[in-house]
Amino acid sequence: MNKTYLSLLLCLVMPAMLRAEVKPHALFSVGAVLQRGCVMPVWGRAGDGEKVTVKFAGQTVSTVASNGQWMVRLRPMRANAVPQTMTITDSNNVEIKDLLVGDVWVCSGQSNMQFEMHWLTDARDHIARANDPLLRLLGVPQGGATQPQRDMTGRWSECTSQSVEWFSAVAYFFGRDVRQSQKVPVGLINSRVGGTAAENWLSWRALAANPKLQQIAGKQPVEGGPSFLYNAMIAPLQPFAIRGVIWYQGESNAYDAPRATAYRELFPTLIKCWRDEWGLPELPFLFVQIAPHNDMVPEIRESQLLTWQQTPKTAMAVITDCGHATDIHPKPKEPVGARLALAARAVAYGERLEYSGPVFSKMNVRGDQAILSFTHVGGGLVAKDGVLKGFTIAGSDNKFVPAEAVIAGKTVIVSSKQVTQPVAVRHGWANVPDVNLFNKDGLPATPFRTDFGQGVTQK
């Protein structure tokens, strides 16, 4: 082979060898669920200047890659349980098969969101029944980064007894119930790391922009510090179209009252951060109130309650009946997922139903009695398994003593022989609240104290 011919051959072959093949983001892989009813961004990598064409569900959209990246947007689509194929082409051709159109939920938080199905007390029975080809699961690989990342690994799988065994129990039960109520394909993206604080899941930009959080931010992102998990496990998901978020976190922000109180500012900032970065200002954000435990101070539940009351398009699942004094990972997870799914039906899907237990709204004093009114009474107030418990009352000396409490219609009357002129009442105000106020819809009342936040607008 002479040198002239070899040079000519290299000139023809090398550009093709150096050209970057089109590659979709990992979220767009076999078995994925795409979000119905909204504009759907599709993106990935390709060589600069390459024309990229995406074909799916009767749509064809093209763009030109720049700086190694490309993105197109598909028009809103209806739910579709029939698997379809997406074709992405430049000089190459990529086919992504078995795609469904339905609702996608991000499931995030710390260890109680990570809590896997095989850890359940009755794991074998639940796992054996967990076979649904229209429920799809994706676990985001755990890791961190000091700067926001664009790419990730991971793959979708059908919900089977094999795939669900190591998947989040709360997320699975939530997804199962949403599937049953909405009758559409559902995709669950599980992004969770045990033992992590809320600030790990916030963008650096959001932390730095809030003067009240400057003490948390410090000077710059560091390994294991604020934003570390957000950069690697949330940023790469954006702007994938999703229906909403379920969140179970707070234990790492609740070991003392000052830190738990700071969650009042930190948690709403996190919600706003995610909504801003996704470009979805009304993204439904549903979360779990921390369960009873010896180390969980009541201020964390109050911070979560205030976040719900002050942040639109949110809901809080109360689980005072699902905790354990010495186990930070209580085993009952089915009620947690069920209550989140109930909240989704109200907040995300617009159904008119009761999705919360009783929430304190105001207190009136009549002689030596404190009369408490509530929202979310539902079908009425009930004392589960006996007389009401968990109430304390105080006079002007601010000394709280155990109180008697009785239901009177939509109110609770609280009193004590030790207090002649009530000033404040508390309910479940303890690390391990022993309470039994429910509504007839089977949902427990959130702990509260009347001596704080009385001016908050109730939902």
Segment 100-134, tens digit of pLDDT: 999 999 999 999 999 999 999 999 999 999 999 99
Query: So what's the pLDDT on residue 453?
Result: 53
Q: Which superfamily, per CATH, for 15-99?
A: Immunoglobulins (2.60.40.10)
Question: Averaged over 319-330, what is the pLDDT?
Answer: 97
Question: Residue 450's pLDDT band (boundaries 50, 70, 90)?
Answer: very high
pTM, two decimals, is: 0.94
Q: Is 108 helix (H, G, I), strand (E, B) or coil?
A: strand
Question: Averaged over 45-67, what is the pLDDT?
Answer: 97
Contact in structure between 378 and 441 (CB atoms under 8 Å): yes
| Residue 142: count of CB within 10 angstroms of its CB | 14
Alpha-helical segments (H) within 311-380? 334-347
Contact in structure between 261 and 299 (CB atoms under 8 Å): yes
State yes or no: pLDDT of 456 exceeds 70.
no
The pair of structure tokens assigned to 337 is: 């997922």
Query: So what's the pLDDT on residue 3?
Result: 57
Query: Parallel, antiparallel, or unpaired for β 33-35 and 93-109?
Result: parallel
Contact in structure between 188 and 137 (CB atoms under 8 Å): yes
Question: Averaged over 196-216, what is the pLDDT?
Answer: 92
Q: Name the phi and psi angles at 88, rounded to 5.
A: -125, 125
Segment 399-420, tens digit of pLDDT: 999 999 999 999 999 999 999 9
**What spatial distance separates the first Cα and last Cα of the chain, rounded to whole Å?**
82
Helix axis angle for 257-278 and 298-310, nearest 10°, is: 30
State yes or no: pLDDT of 455 exceeds 50.
no
**Phi/psi-derived region of residue 346, left when phi > 0, alpha when psi is between -120 and 50, beta in every other case:** alpha
Contact in structure between 351 and 345 (CB atoms under 8 Å): yes
Query: So what's the pLDDT on residue 215?
Result: 79
Query: So what's the pLDDT on residue 65?
Result: 97
Q: Is 261 helix (H, G, I), strand (E, B) or coil?
A: helix
- Topology of domain 101-347 in CATH is Rossmann fold (3.40.50)
Question: Averaged over 195-221, what is the pLDDT?
Answer: 87
Question: Residue 235's pLDDT band (boundaries 50, 70, 90)?
Answer: very high
- Hey, do 15-99 and 101-347 end up sharing a CATH topology, with the first three levels equal? no
Which residue, among 230, 270, 273, has the nearest Cα to 250 in the 3D structure?
270
Q: Domain residue spans in the chain?
A: 15-99, 101-347, 359-449
In DSSP terms, 157 is beta-bridged to 137
Distance CA 360, CA 444 (A): 12
Mean pLDDT in the chain? 93
Report the chain's C-alpha Rg in angstroms: 26
Segment 352-396, tens digit of pLDDT: 999 999 999 999 999 999 999 999 999 999 999 999 999 999 999
State whether the Cα torsion 216-220-226-227 is positive or negative.
positive
Query: So what's the pLDDT on residue 91?
Result: 87
Contact in structure between 300 and 266 (CB atoms under 8 Å): no
